[in-house]
Amino acid sequence: MCNPIYKRVMLKLSGEALSGDVGYGIDFDITKSIATEIKKLISMGVSVGIVVGGGNIWRGRSGKGMDRTTADYMGMLATCINALALQDSLEDLGINTRVQTAIEMKEVAEPFIRRRAMRHLEKNRVVIFAAGTGNPYFSTDTTASLRAAEIEAEIILLAKKVDGVYDKDPYKYSDAKKFDKLTYIEVLEKGLQVMDSTATSLCMDNDIPILVFGLDKPENISKIVLGEKIGTLVCKE
């Protein structure tokens, strides 16, 4: 018998996580493996919101010499491409999915309407929140914090390439130490690269825990929801 410890989760997938080893574009084997995990969550009765990044296609800071807001809007559009790819993989497995965008593009997806998103979630549909917050100078991590608060998610599952939060870059330093648990204040004070500070502060102010884990093993998603201790938990105390 599967007993999930959460009823509603917000899954944050970076764009990088969708691109696999190539580092650019979308690897459909990855979106399929993520969709398979999400299907497990839905069958356990867990409702799932997803915020997807866009870094595999474009990041605002890639636009050197460009107007920052234009570059950021390009980044927001990139998240929409990823959202549609993810929706396709989810629907391929028979999971009802809606994409809601913070920038209106109603021929492509629904606009973000919180009450509508809640209704979809109640009906066991996965809702993918695309186009970030709709504002330049923000990130999709901040979007995940904001939407998590709005949909009353109990936790943000923050999928990364690394399997948790370390005191230094584990790819560069073999003696890097992984944390099992951190407080929001520790993350901010130590300048740890978990989320940007805006996103971390928003989680802190609204008491939303963040679980940082490695997406190299997609099955981590269902394991976490079933209570297995994986990755690094960032919370109040």
Binding site as annotated, residues for ATP: 12-15, 55, 59, 166, 169
Q: Judged by CB under 6 A, which of 49, 75, 164, 218 binds ligand UDP?
A: 75
Our CB check for ligand UDP shows the closer of 2 and 66 to be 66
Which of 201, 200, 117, 93 lies closest to 212 in space, CA to CA? 200
Is residue 135 involved in binding ligand UDP (CB under 6 A)?
yes
Binding of ligand UDP at residue 195 (CB under 6 A)? no
Q: Measured between alpha carbons, how far is 234 from 237 in angstroms, rounded to an integer?
A: 8
**Residue number with CB closer to ligand UDP (59 or 98):** 59
Is 36 a binding residue for ligand UDP by CB under 6 A? The answer is no
Helices first, then strands: H and E counts in the chain: 8, 11
Among 77, 16, 208, 51, CA closest to 141: 51
Among 18, 23, 12, 133, smallest CA distance to 86 is for 18
- The answer to whether residue 138 forms part of the interface with ligand UDP (CB under 6 A) is yes
Q: Does 20 bind ligand UDP (CB under 6 A)?
A: no
Cα–Cα distance between 105 and 96 in angstroms, integer? 20
Residues at the contact surface with ligand UDP, assessed by CB under 6 A: 14-16, 53-55, 59-60, 72, 75-76, 78-79, 132-133, 135-136, 138-141, 143
